[in-house]
Amino acid sequence: ESLAASGFVPARTVLFAFGHNEEVLGSGAKAIAEHLQAQGIKPEYVLDEGMLVIEDHPVTGAPVALVGIAEKGYATLRVTARAPGGHSSMPPLETAVATLAAAITAITGNPFPLDYSGPAREMLEQLAPHGGLGIRMAVANSWLFQPLLERQIAATPSGAALLHTTMAPTMLEGSPKENVLPQTAMARINYRLHPRDSAASALARAQAAVGNLPVTLAWEGRPNEPSPVSSTTSPAYQAIAALAAEFSGAPVAPALVLGGTDSRVFSGYADDVYRFQPVRLKLSELDMIHGTNERLSIDNLDRMAEFYRALIAKTAG
């Protein structure tokens, strides 16, 4: 609005897409993408939320601006065990709950392998020159130090999530009373799929893990596959990265978004999809996102407005 009020007229079309329900998997954004496709409108690039400026990044100990070039997929596996049921005073050798527990343990006890590749590797290679001697040496000689790099990155849950598909049992259903054996026991395991994996390969891995256990496995609804990995050499990335550096005064690196954004519906349709806001937060402040006292500072709000103004002027002017 401030650009328009100043008399700015873009030389190229700028589209603003506002979905109404991103937090529940974004049917609004999907409708927007489908409408644009039906009109034959193909954006050069899409920019959404997803990554930001970490003021105390663990690699450098200083601010780093991260631009998301891909995001993980989202799927929930429903694991179901069935049994005759009955009274808890006369339990059989196997119950639906015991079978379900064994299946959960088998699936989560076979985690996806860690792999220092993809966006995580690109991020470290960009940031290593700004880190200490140890990280510079390890990244420069990753052919030798890859196992060490994987262990170090995976030392925290957020670091491990960069290197593989994660699984988290989140919901359980069984008997409505403590003295009743359920005829059906069910669990839901939430997957965040790494770009190297797919819903089909994840389901096959779970089926192999449970073996002959008498359970059924099925996806809850339709899985969202991981996004393609966008270019880090495109003019759009170069423009976003240059402005991210200007607004943060920090090195810029590509990154993998662990959560989900509306931008996934444009993957494979726009040439590239990026995820960045110039919001500055410390690592300790990330827990407030969707948590207690979630908030955005006025400084960050101002910074975002100025960033988007500059980006539109730079790429569409």
State the burial class of residue 26 (Cβ atoms within 10 Å of its Cβ: 0-12, 13-18, 19+): buried
* pLDDT single digits (tens) 96-120: 999 999 999 999 999 999 999 999 9
pLDDT at 290: 85
Number of other CB atoms surrounding residue 223 within 10 Å:
19
Q: How far is Cα 38 from Cα 32, in angstroms, rounded to an integer? A: 10
- Stretch (H or E) spanning 314: helix 298-316
First to last CA, the chain: 15
- How do 64-71 and 252-257 pair as beta strands? parallel
**207 — pLDDT class (breaks 50, 70, 90):** very high
**Residue 246 phi, psi dihedral angles, 5° rounding:** -65, -45
**313 — pLDDT class (breaks 50, 70, 90):** very high
- Stretch (H or E) spanning 53: strand 53-54
pLDDT at 258: 94
Q: How far is Cα 210 from Cα 222, in angstroms, rounded to an integer? A: 22
